[in-house]
Structure 1
Amino acid sequence: MENSANKPSWKERLHEIIYEADTKEGKLFDVILLIAIIASILLVMLESVKSFDTKYHNLLNISEWIITILFSIEYILRIITIKKPFKYIFSFFGIIDLLSTIPKYLSFIIIGSHNLAALRALRLLRIFRILKIARYIGASNRLLVALKASKAKIFVFLFFIVILCVILGTIMYMIEGEENGFTSIPRSIYWAVVTLTTVGYGDVSPHTPFGQFIASIIMILGYGIIAIPTGIVTSEMTKQQGSDIDFNTQSCPTCLKEKHKDKAVFCYNCGGTLNP
């Protein structure tokens, strides 16, 4: 009686397989899922090749339906195996899973919408569940913490860049004028953004010597500007060095939070009991 009382229910067992990657069954599930995602993306790509689609249209269509049905079943199972389904439905991966499932069904209403199945590429982010050994989790955790700590500095930096582009665009509009392609201040600001970010489409370019001199300064300045956000984030990541903690892939069946410490019994976010 005691053993049966401690035995996990089918929902808990299914939750462990679907949401976690610390067991053989969980890893196998994730590997099969990734293979299905890659196969689905390849099918969409091959279908866009007219010569191939003409020859194998029925095979491609049937294969895509099989994968869509499998994804639909997986989506339903993900919902019924957690205590608070809306936590998953409105989560990042929940929305991605839904968007990657419905394009084929929408093709009955909107012609060509099945091509949106390429959104399934976002599901490949789940590969990190398979690779989640401590060093990767620690690295990703440090990056997230560093980005959050840097957001104020990065916002100020981007705001400064916007102001700089407005000023430089206005100056170039005054120097070059409409006859050289700088037909308005907004178009000149567009040129400043393209030049400062070193993209350089070439659809608008200065013709006067002074305008070219200003453009040269902006291009050189662009290389220096690229390094600033990198330095900000790197500095914050350096502060996070040495703070790694061993995490596992265990997912809370109540709130779906991951990155729990090894041997944790309760969820750090909601306090719910983790599956054994």
Structure 2
Amino acid sequence: MERQAWQEKVHEIIYEADTPAGKLFDLALIASIIISVIAIMLDSIPSINASHGDLLYKVEWAFTVTFTIEYILRIISIKRSRSYIFSFLGIIDLLSILPTYLGLFVTGQGHYLAIVRLFRVLRIFRILKLAQYLKEASILISALHASKRKIFVFFCTVIVLVTILGSIMYIVESSSNPVFKSIPHSIYWAIVTITTVGYGDMAPITGLGRFIAAIVMLLGYAIIAVPSGIITSELTQAVKNQFNNTTSCPSCAHHSHENDAIHCKVCGEKL
């Protein structure tokens, strides 16, 4: 279905960073995001909340309504709305407004989760046409995407490893050390140790337990190099596919295209 003239105009303003109106809109949007995040942080301070809580509550709702309208306009101004809705930025846009609405039905501090809208300032790389940063960000994302299977296998291997090590530590320590009171608790210790965090809330007291702990610590340092090597390898390959075009597809809103691209590489729409 063909878009109406007003939809094309809205798309140009909201999605395009090359036009004066589009750039002004995006800069205003980023300023609004930063101000709203500052309001959320101030509201979490008890003294400020006690004296200006009502004002900050109204400010938060004003920004939430504004971002909601913007979210709806983003959906209706492109042909393939699903492409935007399920994209990274589309999900972030939705998550940035949901906490405030959920606060109407759920009591507690959940509305502070709206601070995730700070992720939306990532648009600044496209808005200000910082080509070198946009290019590097695109390369990094491409490398992470290409290495996702290897990282998944590595993650599963680590899960199996900490489960086995935690179980062994439980067998060794549980009889004389009340801290290792179950296998899940021991697995927690193995995770903390193998990731080199070392909170110190759980520690072995037997000689064999300390020996195993030393092995786990050394193993943790060795494991750190694995994901680094995977991503570095993919980064080397991703450098060959650099792009810095900020033109947004009118159909799916994808905007990472090669400079000489005529059609969208995702949906095939003419740019």
Query: Which TM-score band applies after superposition, normalised by the shorter structure?
Result: 0.7 to 0.9
* 2:86 equivalent in structure 1: 90
Per the TM alignment, residue 195 of structure 1 is displaced from its structure 2 partner at its CA by 0.7
- Looking at structure 1, the residues matched to 163 and 54 of structure 2 have their Cα atoms a distance apart, in angstroms, of 54
Distance 2:95 2:161 in 1: 39
- What's the counterpart of residue 156 of structure 1? 153
Letter in 2 for 1:77: L
Structure 2 residue ranges without an equivalent (≥5): none
- CA-atom RMSD in angstroms: 2.4
Contact 1:43 1:64 in 2 (8 A): yes
Scaled by the length of structure 2, the TM-score of the pair is: 0.86
Structure 1 residues 120 and 225 mapped into 2: Cα distance closer, same or farther (>3 Å)? same
| Aligned equivalent of 2:21, options 14, 22, 25 | 25
The correspondence for 2:181, drawn from 175, 180, 183, is 183
Cα distance in structure 2, aligned partners of 1:18 and 1:31: 11
Shift in Å, 1:43: 0.9
Tell me by how many angstroms 1:14 deviates.
2.4
Deviation at 1:83, TM superposition (A): 1.9
71, 78, 85: which one aligns with 2:67: 71
Q: What SS class does the counterpart of residue 104 from structure 2 fall into?
A: coil
Between the aligned partners of 2:153 and 2:103, the Cα distance in structure 1 is 44
Identity of aligned residues (%): 53
Shift of 1:198: 0.9
Rounded to whole Å, the distance in 1 between the matches of 2:130 and 2:228 is: 26
Displacement of 1:268 after TM fit? 1.9
Equivalent residue runs for 1:103-252 within 5 Å = 103-112=99-108, 113-180=110-177, 181-241=179-239, 243-252=240-249
- Residues 185, 265 of structure 1: alpha-carbon distance in 2 compared, 3 angstrom cutoff: same
Partner Cα distance (1:258, 1:206) in 2: 53
CA distance in 1: counterparts of 2:68 and 2:157, whole angstroms: 46
> Structure 1: any 5+ residue segments left out of the alignment?
1-7
- Whether the aligned pair in 2 keeps the contact of 1:138 and 1:244 (CA below 8 Å) is no
Letter in 2 for 1:111: T
Residue of structure 1 aligned with 2:258, choices 256, 261, 268: 261
CA distance in 2, matches of 1:154, 1:208: 35
Shift of residue 236 of structure 1?
1.9
- For residue 52 of structure 1, report the CA deviation from its aligned partner: 1.0
Aligned CA distance change for structure 1 residues 161 and 137 (closer, same or farther; 3 Å): same
CA distance in 2, matches of 1:107, 1:184: 37
TM superposition score normalised by structure 1: 0.85
Deviation at 1:262? 2.3
